[in-house]
Amino acid sequence: MSDWASWITGSVQNVWGILNICVRGPVNTFAAQWPDFMQQNLDPKAVAKARGALLSSKTPERGIYQVFLLGLMYCLPSEGWEISIERRGGGSGCYTGIRLVSKETKSAVLMEVKSSEKEEDIERDSLVALDQMDRKNYRNRYGLFGIRFLREYGIANYHLESCVNGRYMELDSQSQWVQKDDPAT
């Protein structure tokens, strides 16, 4: 996987900067910087053959954004982060669930990545992705055993355009996740 990740990210400049912001915060900085980072580093030819192309769930270009993002995430194991991926399909476009866990820092990052049908849907779809984490119990305490700090990101993309919404959570004394201001801010 490391070889694959370095092949995917080989031409990407300053990948560590954006990945550190992703896993260490602040959440709002990652949300603001990620779309520009992807526009600068993802080859437009890989995302769609033609700017106005209609993408269906069967169009290979539709998943390139997710593949590129996953390639970037596979740089993190060398920094002590474990990665697990759950690929799903159906509904309002394909999506990928990504879980990054650092037992050393007792931190985790959950990402839900969606491909939007239209550019004007990316804001809504990123919020849907974020809400989905709550509705589908992504922060199940058994899946995040020993984790105290959590950053969640809903990411939606359409071609090179993307939108990120996120939140920072901490586990309280009653083992409930509570949204707080990101201390990295």
pLDDT, tens only, 24-63: 999 999 999 999 998 888 766 656 544 454 544 444 455 7
Identify whether 75 is part of a domain.
yes
Residue 91 confidence (pLDDT): 46
- Token pair belonging to 25: 């915060």
- Token pair belonging to 129: 């992705």
- From the list 77, 71, 69, 78, the residue with the least C-alpha distance to 34 is 69
- Within 8 A by CB and 6+ apart from 139, the residues are 110, 133, 150, 152, 169, 177
Identify whether 29 is part of a domain.
yes
What does the mean pLDDT of the chain come to?
Answer: 81
The answer to which of 4-8, 100-104, 115-119, 141-145 has the lowest mean pLDDT is 4-8
Identify whether 44 is part of a domain.
yes
Residue 13 confidence (pLDDT): 53
Residue 62 confidence (pLDDT): 58
More confident residue, 73 or 120: 120
Is residue 185 over pLDDT 80? no
Identify whether 185 is part of a domain.
no
Helix (H) or strand (E) holding 86: strand 82-88
Q: What residue numbers bound the domain in which 112 lies? A: 2-180
Identify whether 132 is part of a domain.
yes
Q: Give residue for tokens 């990054």.
A: 100
Question: Into how many domains does the chain fold?
Answer: 1
CA dist 171 → 24, 36, 105, 119, 167 (Å): 16, 31, 14, 35, 13
More confident residue, 164 or 5: 164
Q: How far apart are CA 19 and CA 177, in angstroms?
A: 24
Model pTM score: 0.82
Residue 51 confidence (pLDDT): 47
Q: Is 98 left (phi over 0), alpha (psi -120 to 50) or beta?
A: beta
Is residue 78 over pLDDT 90? no
Distance from the Cα of residue 96 to its chain's centroid: 8
